[in-house]
């Protein structure tokens, strides 16, 4: 790999700072505009450098961010190997964090890339999902975001009523039923105890809620249609046989996790989802397990939590395990829930991976094996 051209990139919305080096040689710095024309110019330059170096391999690396994987797609299309690194897995000293600059970040990425190519060090890379998985994720993420907005809006309504000392009638035992909403709309009338300003605010919140409900229904229709495609139909149907697992939970799990065959065992699944406990061991000090790492896709943890509570309420076996942990220490309710979430994630992984393999759900995305 001494002849390899290594390119480390500190990626931003407007610019890209590149640090390029050959083997153990000194790094060359270059700043590129993060625009379509700027990226095309960068790709032509990298291809020219490769040609001038007798076809030397170009290996590019940058950190994952909200910018997505568009740059990785363009590099792959140009025949350039690209690694997208996980920022949470890149160790940085306290001094680096206090003196953070674009150039220092690029130097750190180049150092990691060199260690991987020249010394075989493990690369803290993330899995780059295929274009179809990314497209499907947008639907599920939009649905979850809409649900969060609805929850926040309901809280705003309750807070507005509390500020104005309004209590619901005794006959309304549950919130957000048809009768409850009819009562809220009645508060907008002429004989309402609310002030004019509170009526205006409540009316706005109710209209927003109606719009969000319509948006959520639209997303739900899209998810039903997506779940009937060849990639998801069999795995989603198999997962939904589990108590407490609905269509939304199954589809969020499948779209966020992607090709489940990339996980070798249940420990990798737990670690990827951030459901593994942190570890602290030094010298003679015994290994101390802390809180879960919370790394990985938080959306999966959210639907797993919701499904877990449903299972605890309706599945006698799951309820017995939960109660056994809590009985040992009533303060360990969260620990019991997390343990149940991890068990559910592993079961979903087993079911999904086997079903994907049996029906070839990701076969079209995998390169053909050499004869």
Give the domain CATH number at 73: 3.30.420.40
Same domain, 111 and 144: no
Same domain, 237 and 212: no
The answer to whether 178 and 213 are in contact (CB under 8 A) is: no
Strand, helix or coil for residue 7: strand
Domain boundary among 199, 226, 253: 226
Comparing CA positions, the residue from 292, 335, 337 lying closest to residue 319 is: 337
Same domain, 217 and 279: no
Say what the alpha-carbon torsion angle 189, 191, 195, 199 is, to the nearest 10 degrees: -10
User: What's the rounded Cα separation, in Å, for the pair 151 and 162?
Assistant: 17
Convert 11-50 to b/e letters by CB count within 10 Å (16 or more is b): beeeebbbbbbbeeeebeeeebebeeeebeebbeebeebb
Average pLDDT, integer, range 96-108? 89
In a domain, 69, yes or no: yes
Q: Which domain holds residue 347?
A: 233-364
In a domain, 48, yes or no: yes
Burial of 144 (C-beta count, 10 Å sphere; 0-12/13-18/19+)? middle
Number of neighbouring beta carbons within 10 Å of residue 293 = 16
Comparing CA positions, the residue from 251, 211, 236, 215 lying closest to residue 142 is: 215
pLDDT score recorded for residue 99: 84
Domain boundary among 94, 119, 144: 119
User: What's the rounded Cα separation, in Å, for the pair 133 and 253?
Assistant: 12
Number of domains in the chain: 3
User: What's the rounded Cα separation, in Å, for the pair 188 and 202?
Assistant: 8
**21-25 contact pairs (CB < 8 A, 24+):** 21/110, 21/114, 22/53, 22/56, 23/118, 24/114, 24/118
Comparing CA positions, the residue from 96, 359, 139 lying closest to residue 256 is: 139
The answer to whether 117 and 4 are in contact (CB under 8 A) is: yes
Comparing CA positions, the residue from 223, 247, 219, 221 lying closest to residue 235 is: 247
In a domain, 91, yes or no: yes
pLDDT tens-digit map of 71-84: 999 999 999 999 99
User: What's the rounded Cα separation, in Å, for the pair 313 and 97?
Assistant: 46
Q: What is the mean pLDDT of the chain?
A: 92
Average pLDDT, integer, range 161-179? 93
Same domain, 19 and 105: yes
Same domain, 17 and 101: yes
Domain boundary among 205, 226, 247: 226
pLDDT interval class at 94 (50, 70, 90)? confident
pLDDT at residue 279 tops 70:
no
pLDDT tens-digit map of 305-362: 999 999 999 999 999 999 999 999 888 899 999 999 999 999 999 999 999 999 999 8
pLDDT score recorded for residue 290: 61
pLDDT score recorded for residue 34: 97
pLDDT score recorded for residue 371: 29
Among 30-39, 90-99, 252-261, 336-345, the least confident range: 90-99
pLDDT score recorded for residue 3: 79
Number of neighbouring beta carbons within 10 Å of residue 84 = 20
Residues sharing a CB contact under 8 Å with residue 340, sequence separation 6 or more, in sequence order:
308, 311, 312, 318, 321, 322
Distance of CA 332 to the CA centre of its chain: 27
In a domain, 63, yes or no: yes
Same domain, 98 and 151: no
């Amino acid at each position: 790999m001494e002849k390899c051209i290594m390119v480390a990139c500190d990626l931003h919305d407007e610019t890209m700072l590149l640090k390029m080096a050959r083997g153990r040689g000194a790094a060359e710095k270059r700043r590129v505009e993060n625009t379509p024309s700027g990226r095309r110019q960068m790709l032509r330059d990298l291809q020219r450098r490769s040609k001038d170096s007798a076809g030397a391999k170009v290996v590019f690396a940058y950190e994952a961010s909200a910018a997505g994987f568009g740059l990785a797609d363009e590099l792959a299309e140009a025949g350039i190997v690209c690694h997208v690194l996980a920022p949470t897995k890149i160790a940085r000293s306290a001094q680096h964090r206090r003196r953070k600059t674009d150039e220092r970040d690029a130097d750190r990425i180049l150092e990691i890339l060199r260690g991987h190519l020249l010394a075989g060090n493990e690369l803290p890379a993330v899995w780059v999902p295929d274009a179809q998985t990314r497209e499907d994720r947008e639907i599920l993420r939009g649905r979850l975001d809409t649900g969060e907005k609805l929850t926040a809006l309901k809280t705003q309504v309750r807070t507005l009523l509390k500020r104005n000392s309004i209590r619901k009638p005794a006959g309304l035992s549950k919130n957000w039923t048809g009768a409850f909403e009819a009562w809220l709309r009645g508060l907008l009338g002429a004989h309402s105890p609310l002030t004019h300003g509170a009526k205006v605010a409540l009316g706005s919140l109710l209209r927003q809620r109606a719009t969000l409900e319509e948006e959520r229904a639209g997303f739900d229709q899209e998810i039903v249609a997506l779940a009937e495609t060849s990639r998801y139909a069999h795995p989603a149907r198999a997962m939904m046989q589990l108590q407490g697992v609905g269509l939304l939970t199954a589809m969020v799990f499948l779209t966020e996790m992607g090709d489940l065959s990339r996980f070798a065992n249940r420990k990798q699944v737990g670690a990827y989802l951030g459901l593994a406990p942190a570890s602290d061991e030094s010298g003679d000090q015994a290994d101390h397990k802390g809180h879960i790492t919370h790394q990985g896709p938080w959306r999966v943890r959210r639907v797993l939590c919701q499904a877990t509570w449903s299972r605890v309420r309706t599945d006698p076996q799951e309820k017995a395990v939960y109660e056994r942990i809590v009985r040992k220490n009533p303060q360990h309710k969260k620990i019991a829930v997390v343990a149940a979430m991890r068990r559910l994630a592993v079961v979903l992984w087993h079911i999904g991976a086997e079903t994907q393999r049996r029906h070839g759900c990701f076969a079209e995305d995998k390169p053909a094996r050499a004869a």
